[in-house]
Amino acid sequence: MSSSPAMAIAFKASTSYFTAQQLCGHSTWDQCQNGFTHLNERKSRKGSAALHVRAISRNLDLDFSDPSWKQKYQEDWDMRFSLPHITDIFDLKPRLTSFSLKKNRTPLGDNDGSSPDMWNGYVNKDDRALLKVIKYASPTSAGSECIDPDCSWVEHWVHRAGPRKEIYYEPEEVKAAIVTCGGLCPGLNDVIRQIVFTLEIYGVKNIVGIQFGYRGFFEKGLKEMPLSRDVVENINLSGGSFLGVSRGGAKTSEIVDSIQARRIDMLFVIGGNGSHAGAKAIHEECRKRKLKVSVVAVPKTIDNDILFMDKTFGFDTAVEEAQRAINSAYIEARSAYHGVGLVKLMGRSTGFIAMHASLSSGQIDVCLIPEISFTLDGERGVLAHLEHLLKTKGFCVVCVAEGAGQDLLQKSNATDASGNVILSDFGVHMQQKIKKHFKDIGVLADIKYIDPTYMVRACRANASDAILCTVLGQNAVHGAFAGFSGITSGICNTHYAYLPITEVITTPKHVNPNSRMWHRCLTSTGQPDFD
């Protein structure tokens, strides 16, 4: 562990830290009228000058007739989105950063004798990005998210990501570890690569990869991999994870034992909702054990189901790959007599991939996602609509998300190693239902079913994902050096931000049936309501 004189660690005696637990995902008036969890102001306690109680959790009852409700809400928001920092538990003085893009430049200016120029390269700790920019006039406006019945304007600020002038670690003494968890996702290697590059620019010499997800922390025989620019230089040229991934193995205390034994100061967790929950647990256990460790996550998932993020890396690439499957289904269906193309796409609990692939391909007649219920049979069911499409245009193409229509199938209680429910196969069910339906009504139909499964994610990141990975990976390192822990690095409302993991994992993000994007999808497919 780093422990130079400048970085000498002194515990703040009996400092309490309470994390905010958001009771509902979106904190809107209609979705969350039952109250919010509130963190109140920093308080000083008598007799302990250095001590500050960072946050105390209690329910915030919003009374909209109280003229100060908005102020209370905003204070609550600011507290919830404040970033856990190592100075919450350690008395530490920062030092000037070692991150500079020009030789001989320091945060104070150039010291190489050349004419001093201003380099506005650092993010001020008080910089913020606005999470929401639309002022909805009414709760009935498309996609509205309102706090109160009048849909008042309330500002949701989050911390801007990027390099700070001051850092809380001595780069030469830092041991940094990177782990990739959960399912594969295009761009994992790009993130690993950028984390390594950026750490080296700070001056970190000891960088290791943990193999096969959290498992690598405790599974005997899985050695840590030394990483450097030379090692990771070209890993972005292929898909997958250079370090390997895995599900399961959420043994927080063993993981932290291992972090302690390996003397890791910074842990970068690249993963989805589950991995973030793991990262939060690790961060909290490190605090409990008074370890000076920064745990910083980078949101990864092709499903795009992480709260507050515009998108997660890998999503764009998965949509692009999914389009290929849709295009093949279209070609097959278009060329067959009464062709029905059917494509099943990944998306365990969300329909973002299906919705976006349907929108981008422009070839889909019916898109079915988990967030929108539908019936297959009956006059207003999907099958009757397919019948109509064969009659009117001669062929049709259907896109279903993996998690769609689960209420129409027999449930299983089986879960995968991470505890995710194993879904019943709606794609195959749909294929059988279509076949049977057209057979029953005596209409010829030629069904072509395509399930690209892992093909949408077992590939290299496209250009836009590669850029996103680059920025997120760099920002993760800046966040760790800035002393934050228990945070994630994302893109929110087109800006790069740091968010506390606690807030991000309250619930997975879902397609809002009242959003303009879903409405656009319906406009594009021309499908009716199936209820």
Ligand X SMILES: Nc1ncnc2c1ncn2[C@@H]1O[C@H](COP(=O)(O)OP(=O)(O)O)[C@@H](O)[C@H]1O
Ligand Y SMILES: O=P(O)(O)OC[C@H]1O[C@](O)(COP(=O)(O)O)[C@@H](O)[C@@H]1O
Residues classed as catalytic: 303
CA 260 – CA 293 distance, rounded (Å): 9
Site for ligand Y in 395-414 (CB under 6 A): 402
Tokens for 369?
């996602």
As to burial, measured by CB atoms within 10 angstroms (0-12 exposed, 13-18 middle, 19+ buried), residue 410 is exposed
Query: Which CB sits closer to Mg ion, 478 or 509?
Result: 509
Residue 454, marked binder = yes
Residue 487 DSSP SS3: strand
Residue 339, marked binder = no
Please count the other Cβ atoms lying within 10 Å of the Cβ belonging to residue 527: 21
The distance of closest approach from Cβ of residue 416 to ligand X in the complex, given in angstroms and rounded to an integer, is 7
The distance of closest approach from Cβ of residue 253 to ligand X in the complex, given in angstroms and rounded to an integer, is 11
Site for ligand Y in 227-256 (CB under 6 A): 247
Please say whether the beta carbons of 270 and 474 come within 8 A: no
Phi-psi map region of 22: left, alpha, beta (phi>0 left; psi -120 to 50 alpha): beta
Residue 258, marked binder = no
Residue 348, marked binder = yes
Beta strand segments in 277-413, E = 294-299, 339-345, 366-368, 396-401
Among 273, 358, 363, 506, binds Mg ion (CB under 5 A): 273
Tokens for 183?
């399912």
How many residues bind ligand X, per CB under 6 A? 21
State the binding string over 154-193 for ligand Y (x if CB under 6 A, else -).
----------------------------xx----------
163 binds, among Mg ion, ligand Y, ligand X, none (CB under 5 to 8 A by kind): none
Amino acid sitting at position 519: H
The reply on whether position 347 binds ligand Y by CB under 6 A is yes
The distance of closest approach from Cβ of residue 499 to ligand Y in the complex, given in angstroms and rounded to an integer, is 18
Largest Cα span, the chain: 87
Residue 475, marked binder = no
Tokens for 261?
């034994």
For 104-125, the DSSP string reads TEETTEE-SSSPP-----S--T
As to burial, measured by CB atoms within 10 angstroms (0-12 exposed, 13-18 middle, 19+ buried), residue 75 is middle
The reply on whether position 277 binds ligand X by CB under 6 A is yes
Residue 183, marked binder = yes
Rounded CA Rg of the chain: 25
Please count the other Cβ atoms lying within 10 Å of the Cβ belonging to residue 318: 31
Site for ligand X in 200-259 (CB under 6 A): 213-214, 247-250
The reply on whether position 303 binds ligand Y by CB under 6 A is yes
Residue 122, marked binder = no
Residue 282, marked binder = no
Select from 145-153, 188-196, 295-303, 328-336 the region that touches ligand Y (CB under 6 A).
295-303
Quote the distance between the C-alpha of residue 495 and its chain's center.
14
* DSSP state, residue 486: S
State the binding string over 148-187 for ligand X (x if CB under 6 A, else -).
---------------------------------xxx----
Among 187, 274, 405, 427, binds Mg ion (CB under 5 A): 274
Quote the distance between the C-alpha of residue 287 and its chain's center.
23
CA 236 – CA 242 distance, rounded (Å): 9
The distance of closest approach from Cβ of residue 55 to ligand Y in the complex, given in angstroms and rounded to an integer, is 29
The distance of closest approach from Cβ of residue 296 to Mg ion in the complex, given in angstroms and rounded to an integer, is 19
Please say whether the beta carbons of 385 and 398 come within 8 A: no
402 binds, among ligand X, ligand Y, Mg ion, none (CB under 5 to 8 A by kind): ligand Y
Residues forming beta bridges with residue 267, ordered by sequence position: 177, 295
470 binds, among ligand X, Mg ion, ligand Y, none (CB under 5 to 8 A by kind): none
The reply on whether position 356 binds ligand Y by CB under 6 A is no
The reply on whether position 272 binds Mg ion by CB under 5 A is yes
Query: Which CB sits closer to ligand X, 182 or 341?
Result: 182
DSSP H helices in 170-290:
188-202, 215-218, 229-232, 252-262, 273-288
The reply on whether position 269 binds ligand X by CB under 6 A is no
The reply on whether position 309 binds ligand X by CB under 6 A is no
CA 460 – CA 213 distance, rounded (Å): 19
* Residue of 36, 28, 22 whose CA lies nearest to 139: 28
The reply on whether position 416 binds ligand Y by CB under 6 A is yes
How many residues bind ligand Y, per CB under 6 A? 14
CA 269 – CA 299 distance, rounded (Å): 8
Please say whether the beta carbons of 179 and 295 come within 8 A: no
Residue 238, marked binder = no
Query: Which CB sits closer to ligand Y, 182 or 473?
Result: 182
The distance of closest approach from Cβ of residue 423 to ligand Y in the complex, given in angstroms and rounded to an integer, is 7
Query: Which CB sits closer to ligand Y, 452 or 486?
Result: 452
CA 125 – CA 131 distance, rounded (Å): 17
Residue 425, marked binder = no
Residue 391 DSSP SS3: helix
The reply on whether position 252 binds Mg ion by CB under 5 A is no
How many residues bind Mg ion, per CB under 5 A? 3
The reply on whether position 272 binds ligand Y by CB under 6 A is yes
The distance of closest approach from Cβ of residue 300 to ligand X in the complex, given in angstroms and rounded to an integer, is 6
CA 86 – CA 54 distance, rounded (Å): 12
Q: Which residues are annotated as a binding site for substrate?
A: 301-303, 346-348, 402, 454-457
Residues that bind ligand X (CB under 6 A): 181-183, 213-214, 247-250, 271-275, 277-278, 281, 301, 418-420
Residues that bind ligand Y (CB under 6 A): 182-183, 247, 272, 274, 301-303, 346-348, 402, 416, 457
Residues that bind Mg ion (CB under 5 A): 272-274
